[in-house]
Amino acid sequence: MLDQQIQQLCRSGEQRDLYRRIMTIPGIGPTVAAFVTHHITRWPLTSSDAWIACTGLDPRPNESGARIGKRRLSKRGNASLRQILYMAAMGLTRSKGGKPLYTAIRERGHSSTASFNILARKLAKIAWGVFKSGRDFDP
């Protein structure tokens, strides 16, 4: 019932056009679109990198001098947003356009968790592009 109320607000509020455009991205359904619409308009961000940092899906370097360590997610953003984008990435792998992306990432040697995080970051970047361009997603 709460999800229905949130979606109804998104369909009738001032961000209904953005909500509709974000829904055109494969792997993103009504709940994810509502969540992303709320968070992407929350702060006056200037770039997609700032948006990715707000999601916490940006890599955190682990380097010092000549030593190069393993990079991990910074996880500095909203945990719920990160989780919902991760779940959308899992849904994307079940679509016709997302399965080849997932397979290509897995063939590069990434674990399934890392692959879903990479796809979640891609979805966030695509959502930023849809937000800034004002146009529907065009594969």
Note the pLDDT tens digit of each residue in 117-129. 999 999 999 999 9
What's the structural domain count of the chain? Answer: 1
Q: Report yes or no on 68 lying in a domain.
A: no
Rounded to an integer, the average pLDDT of 1-11 is 76
Q: Report yes or no on 67 lying in a domain.
A: no
**Does the pLDDT value for residue 48 go beyond 80?**
yes
**Does the pLDDT value for residue 116 go beyond 90?**
yes
Q: Report yes or no on 66 lying in a domain.
A: no
pLDDT, position 9: 74
Mean pLDDT of the chain: 88
Q: Report yes or no on 70 lying in a domain.
A: no
Q: Report yes or no on 32 lying in a domain.
A: yes
Q: Report yes or no on 10 lying in a domain.
A: yes
**Does the pLDDT value for residue 2 go beyond 90?**
no
User: Does residue 89 contact residue 117 with C-beta atoms inside 8 Å?
Assistant: yes
Q: Report yes or no on 28 lying in a domain.
A: yes
Q: Report yes or no on 121 lying in a domain.
A: yes
% of the chain residues with pLDDT over 70:
100
Annotate 12-43 with b (16+ C-beta within 10 A) or e (fewer). eeebeebbebbbebbbbebebbbbbbbbbeee
Please give the single-letter amino acid code of residue 60.
R
- Specify the pTM: 0.87
Domain hosting residue 44, numbered range: 2-59+75-133
Rounded to an integer, the average pLDDT of 71-95 is 89
